[in-house]
Chains A and B, each alone.
Chain A
Amino acid sequence: GAVVSQHPSWVICKSGTSVKIECRSLDFQATTMFWYRQFPKQSLMLMATSNEGSKATYEQGVEKDKFLINHASLTLSTLTVTSAHPEDSSFYICSATKEGGTGELFFGEGSRLTVL
């Protein structure tokens, strides 16, 4: 299989605090991981692409200092939302491609962030 796990699945935090979301590929090595954001009834918007051992590539309009991405190993990427504000409340989903695979993306279950 190709299982991608996210943690936590939901988190509530106060405005101004930072929140870390983990994304792990459980049964394969992921050279590249992606972070998406999804607002209610909207499609997935790519935030950034992260490659193991290098800096993430952010999409236009995404603040790299606010959304810190670390891809420390071939099975783990983290997204940290720094100084979170209510407008950062969203559904964050990570995905990964298999090393040597055919380009299919396998998605995590998503993390629902609510900033009060």
Chain B
Amino acid sequence: EDQVTQSPEALRLQEGESSSLNCSYTVSGLRGLFWYRQDPGKGPEFLFTLYSAGEEKEKERLKATLTKKESFLHITAPKPEDSATYLCAVQSRLSGNTGKLIFGQGTTLQVKP
């Protein structure tokens, strides 16, 4: 069964304190791994897609990496506006072109000034 586990569940950082969020996954052939940001009461906002082990992508203070078993979202020198819930999701090759995603529980990040 395809499964996604994120850790930690919650993370509190001081502004400027870098850290990483983890996403461990088991999937029947990975088609893609996705990172989303979700603010309270809003829909998820797309951040990155990673397709193969060793791939990395960056956007401002965020950098996502991928191995065969997990993905990390590194946050460098975070700011209070980075506070949000970060969701990881995987898409299986068995889902074909349906786009079906399996989501993790998310990591809620709070960055204090």
Give the number of residues in B that approach A within 8 Å (Cβ atoms).
Answer: 23
Given contacts A104-B46, A105-B46, contact A46 B101 (CB under 8 A): yes
Q: Does A52 contact B (CB under 8 A)?
A: no
Q: How many A residues are at the interface, by size bracket?
A: 20 to 34
Give chain A nearest CB distance to B105 CB in angstroms. 5
**Chain A interface mostly helix, strand, loop or mixed?**
strand
Given A43-B105, A102-B49: A107 touches B44 (CB 8 Å cut-off)? yes
Shortest beta-carbon distance from B56 to chain A in Å: 17
Docked CA distance A83–B112 (Å):
44
| Cβ proximity bits A90-116 to B, threshold 8 Å, 1 near / 0 not | 010101010000111111111010000
Instruction: Mark B residues whose CB is within 8 Å of A.
Output: 31-32, 34, 36, 41-46, 49, 87, 89, 91, 97-101, 103-106
